[in-house]
Structure 1
Amino acid sequence: MPKLKLKPTTQAALLLLALSQLTVQAQTPPPAQLEQVLVTGSRAKDRSLLNSAVPVDVLSQEDLQRAVAGDGNLAAALQTLLPSFNFPRQSNSGGGDHVRAAQLRGLSPDQVLVLVNGKRRHNSAIVNLESKTGKGTNPVDFNAIPFSAIQRIEVLRDGAGAQYGSDAIAGVINIILDEARSGGEIQGQVGGFHTRFEPTHETIQDGASRELRGKLGFKLGEAGFVRLGAEAAHRDHTNRAGADQLPPWEDQSPANLAFQGKRNYAPGEPESDQLALWLNSAYALGADAQAYAFATWQQRESLGAAYFRYPDSSANVKALYPQGYRPETTGKSRDLQIAAGLRGSLGADKAWDYDLSFNLGRNDFSYGLRNSLNVSLGAASPSQFQLGDFGTQHLGLSADFRRELALGLAKPATLALGLEARRESFRTRAGDAASYSVGPFDGTPGAQAGPGLQAGDAVDLSRQLIGAYADLSADLSQDLFANLALRADRYSDFGSALTAKLSGRYVLAQGLALRGAASSNFRAPSLAQTGFSFTVTDRGEGGSLSQVRTLPVGSAIAQALGAEQLKAENARNASLGLSWQPSKSASLSIDAFDVRVKDRITLSERLSNEALTQLVQTRFNVAGVNGVNFFTNAVDTHTRGIDLVGQWTQQGILGGELRWTLASSYNKTTLSHVRNTGAALKALGIDKPLVGLEESNTLTAAAPRDRHVIGANWHNSQWKLLARATRHGQTTRVFDFGGGYTPSQTYAAVWQLDLEAEVKLTRQFSLSLGGVNVTDRYPSRSVDDISYFGNFPYDVLSPVGFNGAFYYARARYSF
Structure 2
Amino acid sequence: MNFRGKQPSARALLVAATAVWALASADVAMAQDAGSDDTAAAEEDSDAPAIVVIGTRRTDRSAVNSASPVDVISASEIQSQPAANMLDVVKNVVPSFFVPQNTISDASTFVRAPSLRGLPADNILVMLNGKRFNRSALVQVYTGGDTALSFGSQGADISSIPAIAVGNLQVLRDGATAQYGSDAIGGVLNYGLRDDTGFEAQALYGQHYEGDGETWQISGYGGIGLGDNGFISVAGEYYDSEGTSRGVQRPSAVNFANQFPNLADQLPNYPGPVQIWGSSPSHGWKVVVNSEFEVSPQATFYLFGNFANSKADQSFNYREAVTTTATRFNGTSSSTGTLSANSAFRHPIYLTACPAGNATCPSGGFVRDANVFNFTELYPAGFTPRFVGETDQAIGVAGIKGSLDSGFTYDLSGSLARQSLNLSMYNSLAPSYGPATQTEFQFGKLIQRELNLNLDMTYPLDMGLASPVTLSWGAEFRREEYEATEGDPQSYGAGPYAVQDLYVQTSPGVYAYDSTVTMPPAASGYGGTSPTFAGTSSEKSWGVYVGAEADLTDRLSMGIAGRYEDYENFGSATVGKINALLEVTDAVSLRATAGTGFHAPSPGQNNVQVLTTTFIQGNQVQVGTYPVTSDIAQFYGATTLGPEESTNFGAGIVIKPSNNFTLTADGYSIKVRDRIGISQTFTVSAADIVALPSLAGVGEGGSVQYFTNGFDTLTRGIDVVGTYRTGLGDGSLNLTLAYNYNKSKVTNFDPGVIGPTQLIDIKYLAPNHRATFSANWEIGDFAINFRESYYGEWRDSNDYPIREGNLSTGAIIDGQHFGAKFITDLDVSYTFADKYTLTVGANNLFDTYPDKIAATVNNPIYDLTGSISNGSIYPRPGGPFGLNGGYWYARIRVKY
Q: Quick one: structure 1 residues 427 and 226, their matched pair in 2 at CA, closer, same or farther if it must change by over 3 Å?
A: same
For 1:224, the equivalent position in structure 2 comes to: 230
Report the Cα distance in structure 1 between the residues aligned to 2:153 and 2:94, rounded to whole angstroms.
22
Counterpart of 2:204?
189
| Residue 647 in structure 1 maps to residue 723 in structure 2 | yes
1:576 is matched with which residue?
651
Paired position in structure 2 for 1:739 = 808
1:389 to 423, 445, 448: 445
Q: Deviations over 1:546-604 (max 9, x none)?
A: 97532211234433533221111000000000000111111000000000000011111
Query: Alpha-carbon deviation of 1:252?
Result: 10
The residue type paired with residue 551 of structure 1 is Y
2:163 aligned with 1:147? yes
**1:377 Cα deviation after fit:** 2.8
CA distance in 2 between partners of 1:790 and 1:447 (Å): 20
CA contact under 8 A between 2:538 and 2:603: conserved in structure 1? yes
The aligned residue for residue 114 of structure 1 is: 126
What's the CA shift for 1:448?
1.8
> 1:17-416 alignment to 2 at 5 Å?
32=46, 35-66=49-80, 68-69=81-82, 71-130=83-142, 131=144, 132-133=146-147, 134-180=150-196, 182-194=197-209, 204-246=210-252, 254=260, 263-312=273-322, 313=341, 314-315=343-344, 317-346=375-404, 349-416=405-472
Distance in 1 separating the partners of 2:216 and 2:472? 46
Asked if structure 2 preserves the Cα contact closer than 8 Å seen for 1:186 and 1:812, the reply is yes
Mapped to 1, the partners of 2:894 and 2:436 lie a distance apart of 55
2:763 & 2:647 partners in 1: Cα distance? 18
Partner of 2:584, secondary structure, is strand
**Would the alpha carbon gap of residues 276 and 416 (structure 1) be closer, same or farther in structure 2, given more than 3 Å must change?**
same
Name the SS of the counterpart of 1:456 in structure 2. coil
Shift of 1:447: 1.7
Say yes or no: does 1:445 pair with 2:528. Answer: no
1:600-649 Cα shifts (integer Å, max 9, x gaps): 11111102375xx6467447886666632111111000000011000111
SS of the residue corresponding to residue 295 of structure 1 reads strand
Are residue 459 (structure 1) and residue 471 (structure 2) matched?
A: no
1:336-390 per-position Cα deviation (integer Å, ceiling 9, x unaligned) = 01000001124xx543110000111110110111121223333432221112210
Q: Which has the higher contact order (CA 8 A, sep 6+)?
A: 2
Question: In 1, are the aligned partners of 2:556 and 2:582 still within 8 Å (CA)?
Answer: yes
Counterpart-to-counterpart distance in 1, 2:581 and 2:486: 54
Q: Deviations over 1:689-733 (max 9, x none)?
A: 321133333322211111110111100230110111001111111
Distance change (3 Å), C-alpha of 1:173 and 1:765 = same
Counterpart of 2:304, as a letter, is F
CA deviation string 1:379-406 (max 9, x = no partner): 4322211122100011011111111000
Other structure's SS at 2:252 match: coil
CA RMSD of aligned residues (A): 2.7
| Alignment check: 8 A CA contact 1:247 1:789 kept | no
| Partner Cα distance (2:817, 2:536) in 1 | 42
1:244 and 1:262 in contact (8 A); partners too: no
- Shift of residue 322, structure 1, vs aligned partner: 1.9
Equivalent pair of 1:124/1:138 in contact (CA under 8 Å): yes
Provide TM-score, normalisation by structure 2. Answer: 0.81
Residue 762 of structure 1 corresponds to 833
Which of 857, 871, 882 pairs up with 1:801? 882
Aligned to 1:714: 777
Equivalent residue, structure 2, for 1:683: none
Matched, 1:812 2:824: no
User: How far apart, in 1, do the equivalents of 2:789 and 2:262 lie?
Assistant: 43
SS of the equivalent of 1:430 reads: coil
Q: Which moves more between the two structures, 185-194 or 212-221? A: 212-221
Structure-2 separation of matches of 1:378 and 1:692: 37
User: Gapped runs of 5+ residues in structure 2?
Assistant: 1-42, 323-340, 346-374, 498-517, 802-806, 860-866
For structure 1, the residue ranges without an aligned partner over 5 or more in a row are: 1-28, 195-203, 676-687
Change (3 A) 1:356 1:443: same
**1:30–1:254: structure 2 CA closer, same or farther, 3 Å change rule?**
farther
Counterparts of 1:531-680 in structure 2 under 5 Å? Answer: 531-535=607-611, 548-608=623-683, 614=687, 617-618=690-691, 627-651=703-727, 653-675=728-750
AA partner of residue 646 (structure 2): A
Q: How does 1:474-489 map to 2 (within 5 A)?
A: 474-489=550-565
CA contact (8 A) 1:435 1:446 kept: yes
What CA deviation, in whole Å up to 9, does each residue of 1:193-219 have, x standing for no partner? 01xxxxxxxxx2100000111111111
Aligned to 2:757: 694
Counterpart-to-counterpart distance in 2, 1:762 and 1:315? 64
Contact persistence 1:146–1:296 (CA under 8 A): no
Q: Distance in 1 between matches of 2:56 and 2:611?
A: 46
8 Å contact 1:754–1:774 — kept in the other structure?
Answer: yes
Change in 2 beyond 3 A, CA 1:249/1:395: farther
After superposition, the C-alpha distances for 1:509-533 in whole angstroms (9 at most, x for unaligned) are: 1111000100001101121111112
CA positional deviation for 1:145: 1.3
Counterparts in 2 of 1:392 and 1:584: CA distance versus 1, 3 Å:
same
Please give the alpha-carbon distance, in whole angstroms, between the structure 2 residues aligned to 1:619 and 1:777: 52
What is the distance in 2 between the residues matched to 1:331 and 1:430? 16
Distance 1:788 1:315, change over 3 A: farther
Distance change (3 Å), C-alpha of 1:320 and 1:340: same
Flag the 1:252–1:309 CA change in 2: closer, same or farther, 3 A: farther
Tell me, in whole angstroms, the C-alpha distance in 1 between the residues paired with 2:523 and 2:257: 21
Residue 777 (1) aligns with residue 783 (2): no
Q: Distance in 2 between matches of 1:454 and 1:78?
A: 37
Q: Which amino acid aligns with 1:47?
A: R
Secondary structure of the residue aligned to 2:762 is helix
Residues 103 and 536 (structure 1), Cα distance of their counterparts in 2 relative to 1, 3 Å cut: closer
The alpha-carbon distance between structure 1 residues 622 and 728, as it changes in their structure 2 partners (threshold 3 A), is closer
Distance in 1 between residues matched to 2:199 and 2:565, nearest whole Å: 42
Provide the identity percentage. Answer: 32
User: Which of 606, 631, 636 is the matching residue for 1:530?
Assistant: 606
For 2:179, what is the secondary structure of its paired residue? helix
Structure 1 range deviating more: 437-446 or 774-783: 437-446
Which amino acid in the other structure matches residue 669 of structure 2? D
CA contact (8 A) 1:457 1:535 kept: no
**Does the Cα contact within 8 Å between 1:445 and 1:538 map onto a contact in 2?**
no
Moved more, 695-704 or 630-639: 695-704
1:393–1:109 distance in 2 versus 1, CA, 3 Å: same
Tell me by how many angstroms 1:222 deviates. Answer: 1.7
Give CA deviations for 1:646-667 in whole Å, capped at 9, x if unaligned. Answer: 011111x121011111000011
Larger displacement relative to structure 2 (720-729 or 370-379): 370-379
Shift of 1:136: 2.4
Could you say if the C-alpha distance between residues 294 and 609 of structure 1 is closer, same or farther in structure 2, counting changes exceeding 3 Å? closer
TM-score normalised by length of structure 1 = 0.88
The whole-number CA distance in structure 1 between the counterparts of 2:611 and 2:140 is: 15
> In 2, distance between residues paired with 1:764 and 1:116?
29
Instruction: Indicate conservation of the 8 Å contact 2:397/2:413, yes or no.
Output: yes
In structure 2, the CA distance between the partners of 1:167 and 1:475, relative to structure 1 (3 Å rule), is: same
Q: Supply the distance in 2 between the matched residues of 1:92 and 1:256 (Cα, whole angstroms).
A: 30
CA distance in 1, matches of 2:645, 2:706: 20
